[in-house]
């Protein structure tokens, strides 16, 4: 019986585990099914498990079906709904007005950054000018002090 399960797992479902027995955690991760859902299947009697707590792959597929296909369909449906939602948002007038406000604010921010950069340059030039104007005064005081001696 285990030989049949292994063959079934490898021939018809090549991405499934080659082992015929899975732990609940392995099955949950492999097939993207919540562990709580698996435990509910045990509790309701839909699915049985081995004495060591593992699940036979055939038993799992009998209860949950080809979950690989179901998972792919779910992902496709979600991406389609997401695309439709995005299209409906983009056609919303409120969205368009907010987008225009964002564009204006970004432009305003860019102009403020350019203005700040220019002002920083002016401050540096003024600081250099002040340093040059103060430098001769110090030298004049030294000359005067020299003549006093």
Torsion angle in degrees (nearest 10) through CA of 101, 102, 104, 105:
110
Share of the chain above pLDDT 90, in %: 21
Q: What is the mean pLDDT of residues 67-84?
A: 68
- List pLDDT tens digits, range 78-122: 777 777 777 777 788 888 888 899 999 999 999 999 999 999 999
* Residue 12 pLDDT exceeds 70: no
């Amino acid at each position: 019986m285990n030989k049949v399960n292994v063959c079934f797992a490898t021939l018809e479902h090549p991405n499934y585990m080659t082992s015929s027995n899975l732990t609940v955690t392995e099955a949950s991760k492999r097939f993207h099914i919540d562990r709580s859902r698996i435990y509910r299947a045990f509790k309701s009697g839909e699915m049985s498990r081995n004495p060591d707590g593992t699940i036979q792959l055939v038993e799992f597929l009998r209860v949950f079906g080809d979950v690989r296909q179901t998972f792919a369909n779910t992902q496709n449906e979600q991406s389609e709904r997401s695309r439709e939602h995005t299209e409906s948002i983009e056609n919303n007038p409120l969205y368009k007005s907010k987008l225009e406000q964002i564009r204006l604010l970004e432009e305003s921010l860019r102009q403020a950054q350019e203005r700040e950069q220019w002002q920083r340059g002016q401050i540096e030039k003024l600081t250099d000018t002040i340093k040059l104007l103060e430098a001769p005064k110090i030298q004049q005081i030294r000359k005067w002090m020299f003549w006093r001696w």
